[in-house]
Chain A
Amino acid sequence: MKILVAVKRVVDHNVRIRVRADGTGVETDNVRMSMNPFCRHAVEAAMRLAEAGAATEIVVVSIGPKQSNDVILTALAMGAHRGILLEAEGRVETLTVAKLLGAVVAEEKPDLVLLGKQSVDDDSNHVGQMLAGLLGWPQATFASEIKVAGAGLEVTREVDFGRTTVQIALPAIVTADLRLNEPRNAGLPMVMKARQKPLAVRPAAEFGIDLTPRLTVERVSPPAERVAGAKVATVPELAKLIAADVAELEAL
C-alpha cells in the first residue's frame, strides 16, 4: 500500500504564545516552530506500517510557507521516502487545505492518507474529515490503534465513552490521536540522509483552487486571565471551605 501523510508546521507546542496587542493575531515572529505533534504520530504510524511490510511508499505533503520544508525534512528523517511542499503564504483555511490535499491525492493515488487529528495552532480538527468528504472515502478519526485486516484496516478510535473499533475498506482516511504510538526521534545519520531524498516544491496556486478564505478573522484576543487566589495551610481548613462551596451549590 502507498501512504500519503499530511504534516503541518505550527508554533512549537511548548511555546507560551502571545496575542498581539493590536488584536490581529498571535505573535509568530521569532517563535520556535515545529511539526504539529499529532502529525508526528501520523508519520510514525506510516513508518510502522512500512516496517511491518504493509506499506511500500510513504509520501509526505505540507501546505504552507517555504519554511514548511523543515517539517517535511523531519518526516523524511523519520523514514518517509519523498516530500511535496505546496507553497502558500498567509492564512489557508482548512477547507482549502483539504481541497489541495485532494488534488495531491488525485495525482499520487495513495491507498491511505494519514493526518493528525488536529493542529495545535488553530485547534480545528477538520482536514481529515473534509478530505474524506471530498473524496467520498471512509474515515476513521482520532485513531489510537491501526491494524491491517484483510484488504482494509481495523482502527480503534478514542471517543466520548471510551474506545470504539471499526473496520474500513481502502482507500481511506485515518487521523492520529496522541496514544496511537510513540514517535521516533531521527538520529543524525537519518537527518543527513533526509536531505538527499526527493522534495518537490510547487506553488499552491498552480492547482486552480480558490485560496481565498471564506471566514473573516475580525479579532484575536487574549482569554480572561486567572490569578492566584488564597493559600490554605491545613486539610481541615480546606475541607471546611469545600463543604461551604458545596452547600452553596446545593442551595441553588
Chain B
Amino acid sequence: MTVLVLAEHDLGVLGAATARIVAAASKLGPVDLLVVAPDAAPIAEEAASIARVAKVLAISGLAHAPSDALTDLLADLANGYTHIVAAAAAVGRDVIPRLAAKLDLMPVTDVIAIHSATRFDRPIYAGNAIETVSSGQAQNLLTIRASAFRPAAGGGSAPIETLGAAPASHQTFVSDSRTESELPELSTAQIVVGGGVSFGSAEKFALVEGLARTLGAAVGATRAAVDAGYAPNDWQVGQTGKIIAPDIYIALGISGALQHLAGIQGAKKIIAVNSDPEAPIMKIADLALVGDIFEVVPALTAELQKLGLKR
C-alpha cells in the first residue's frame, strides 16, 4: 500500500505545493516522493525534510518535464504502488492522463477530498457541482488540487535513493518565457490581490501590484485582463487558470463571472471593490466596497501604508 508522489519544483527549488500533495497522499498510505529534475540532489534534500515521506527517489535528467519521457519513467516505476499522485498543475495535468492511458486506467483528477483509498471528491462544471466517485481499479492515478489541503510539516529526514538514467524524450525544447516577480507564488499565497480588465492598461494594472506589494500578497488576474495583455497568463485565476485558496482575496474591478469564481471558491474571505453594486462578486463577497478602482486602490494602498502595514 505505498503511494508514489511526483514532486513539484521550479528553477531547482521544491514547489510549495509538494508538502500539500504529500499531506493529502499520506491518507492513502506511506509516501515515496519522486524528484525528477536536471539536478535532482538539492531538491531531494529539501523533499526529504517533509514529514510523512517514507523515502525520496531522485532521478537527474529530463529538463523541461517532457511529457513522453516523464510518462515512460513513471510507467517503469508504477509497479508496486497502489496510487500514483501528482499536483493538479501543468506537469501533473500533462502527464497523469497520458500515463493512465498507457496503463489502461481511468484517472481521478483535481481531487479536493479523499474519503478513502478509492473514494474521492472532484469539482465539475467550474466548481458548481462536486462529484463523489469511487474506483474499483487495482491501481489509482490521481491529480490533487494542492490548495484544498494543508501542507505536511517539515522536520522529517527521509532517506534519499538515487536512481539511474531517465528515458529519452522525442520533444525538443525551444524556449521558456517566464514572468519575473518578487511577489509570493500565486497558488499557495495567503493573500491574493486580483485585478480585472477594467484597469484598462498594463500601466494602470500596476495599481494592483502596488497594493499586493504593500500586503505581501500575490497578484491574480481575470482572463479578460490577461487576454487584454495587462497581466501575464500565469496570473490568471479561474476555471482555466490557477485555483487559489488564500485566507484573503481582494477582487478589484472584477465582475465575478462563474469561470473566475471557480478559481477562488476556496478563499476564506473575499473582499470586493466594484463600481457596480449588482456585480456578481459583490453578492458573494464577505466585504464589499462600492467605488471606482482608480480612486479606491491608490487610497487603500496609502491608507494601509499609513497604518504601518509591512509584510
Contacts and interface: CB of A to CB of B under 8 A. Distances in A.
A195 interface: no
A65 interface: no
A71 to B, nearest CB: 18
B239 A218 contact: no
Contacts of A46: none
Contacts of A122: 124
B101 A217 contact: no
A129 B98 contact: yes
B168 interface: no
A159 B232 CA distance: 11
A250 B311 CA distance: 9
The secondary structure that dominates the A interface is mixed
Interface residues of B, number: 94
A161 B130 contact: no
B172 A239 contact: no
Given A221-B132, A228-B284, A243-B309, A134 B101 contact: yes
Interface in A205-252: 213-223, 226-233, 235-236, 238-243, 245-246, 249-250
Interface string B268-291: 011101000000001111111111
A133 B130 contact: no
A26 B285 CA distance: 26
Contacts of A126: 97, 100, 107, 109
User: By CB atoms of chain B within 10 A, which of A19, A154, A235 has the most?
Assistant: A235
Contacts, number: 251
B84 to A, nearest CB: 14
B283 A133 contact: no
A154 B172 CA distance: 9
Interface string B238-272: 01101000011010000000110000010001110
B94 A129 contact: yes
Nearest to A38: B240
A121 B131 CA distance: 12
A221 B130 contact: yes
User: By CB atoms of chain A within 10 A, which of B104, B174, B215, B258 has the most?
Assistant: B174
B201 interface: no
Contacts of A141: 67, 93-94
Interface stretch (B38-46, B54-62, B175-183): B175-183
A123 B227 contact: no
A223 B123 contact: yes
A242 B300 CA distance: 10
User: By CB atoms of chain A within 10 A, which of B105, B129, B296 has the most?
Assistant: B129
Given A95-B101, A141-B94, A218 B125 contact: no
B110 to A, nearest CB: 7
B176 A249 contact: no
Interface stretch (B19-27, B133-141, B158-166): B133-141
